[in-house]
Structure 1
Amino acid sequence: MERDDLGAMVARLGRRLIAMEQPILGRHGLSMWAYVVLNGLAGGSVRTQAALAASIGADKTRLIPILDDLQARSLIEREPDPADRRVRLLGLTAKGRALHLAVQGEIREAEAELLGDLPAGERDAFLRALVALSTRAAPG
């Protein structure tokens, strides 16, 4: 089967997904990186800034202004770690969790529309494969 390289296909799909997500994020006053942070914290586990940066593939020094903005908007909390006061523990606030769920819901609706032309079996197989590949490619 003749096809483009994976990188070319993923890049094309990535550009389409980013273009699809940008207006959704804009309506909610979020940058892509701010959403990535909310998504990274949505699991509920308290994380350090360094651990969050590593898990989302961000430079921790460039992450600080994003965290500052999210905290100023009461979307995240940064608390000193009782075991080491130099370390900040991160978590979503109720407002941050609600915003994350709202944005994620809209993104999932747009994804469903994008994938809607695929037969259900192909769509499910694509999503399973994508989850498996992205899990293997995750930082750390």
Structure 2
Amino acid sequence: MAERPDLAAMLGGLVRTLVALETPVLEEQRLSMWGYVVLSALDDGPVRTQAALAQAIGADKTRIIGTLDELQDAGLISREPDPADRRVRLLEITAAGRERRRAAQDRIQAREEKLLAKLPTTDREAFLRAARMLAE
């Protein structure tokens, strides 16, 4: 097998570049990185508990409480008691949250397009296909 750097070593620089592309957009949208992750997860549909959300996004449930508070205070999510179990809070993105998340995503992906444009079309398509497959 030919020698190559580990995947983490190869992708580390790319991830740093992507974070640097996203950060100004998120700042403009008044979102933290975790806020954007939460809104993205909730845009797929409501989540029954904070613990389920934390598991879905790979965060510690106690770590996201502050993020949830900020998003709720900004009117971007709602946390309502579950009628079937009042101890449980149903988490849902609001229309304003969906609008802000999608605006951020549009701007982020426009910046990503500039980076991806460095690749020939066939390589770009293969890269995006492989990234989706490996992310699953």
| TM-score above 0.5, yes or no | yes
1:15-54 equivalence runs, <5 A = 15-54=16-55
> What is the deviation of 1:2?
4.3
Matched, 1:80 2:81: yes
Q: Relative to 1, partners in 2 of residues 1:83 and 1:102: Cα closer, same or farther, differing over 3 Å?
A: same
- Give me the CA root mean square deviation: 1.1
Q: How far, CA to CA, are the matches of 1:113 and 1:48 in structure 2? A: 38
| Residue 107 (structure 1) aligns with | 108
Note the alpha carbon deviations across 1:35-91, whole angstroms, 9 max, x for none: 110111111234321111001000000111100010000000101111111111111
Amino acid in structure 2 at the alignment position of 1:62 = R
Give the TM-score, by structure 1 length: 0.92
Q: How far, CA to CA, are the matches of 1:47 and 1:19 in structure 2? A: 33
| Residue 69 (structure 1) aligns with | 70
Q: How far, CA to CA, are the matches of 1:31 and 1:19 in structure 2? A: 13
| Residue 4 (structure 2) aligns with | 3
Q: How far, CA to CA, are the matches of 2:69 and 2:25 in structure 1? A: 22
Amino acid in structure 1 at the alignment position of 2:23 = Q
Amino acid in structure 1 at the alignment position of 2:7 = L
Give the TM-score, by structure 2 length: 0.95
What residue ranges of structure 1 are gaps of 5+ in the alignment? 136-140
1:89-104 equivalence runs, <5 A = 89-104=90-105
Amino acid in structure 2 at the alignment position of 1:120 = T
Q: How far, CA to CA, are the matches of 2:48 and 2:98 in structure 1? A: 15
The answer as to whether partners of 2:80 and 2:91 remain within 8 angstroms in 1 is: yes
Q: How far, CA to CA, are the matches of 1:5 and 1:46 in structure 2? A: 36
Runs of 4+ more than 2 Å apart: 44-47
> Number of residue pairs matched?
135
Amino acid in structure 2 at the alignment position of 1:65 = G
Could you say what secondary structure the match of 2:96 adopts? Answer: helix
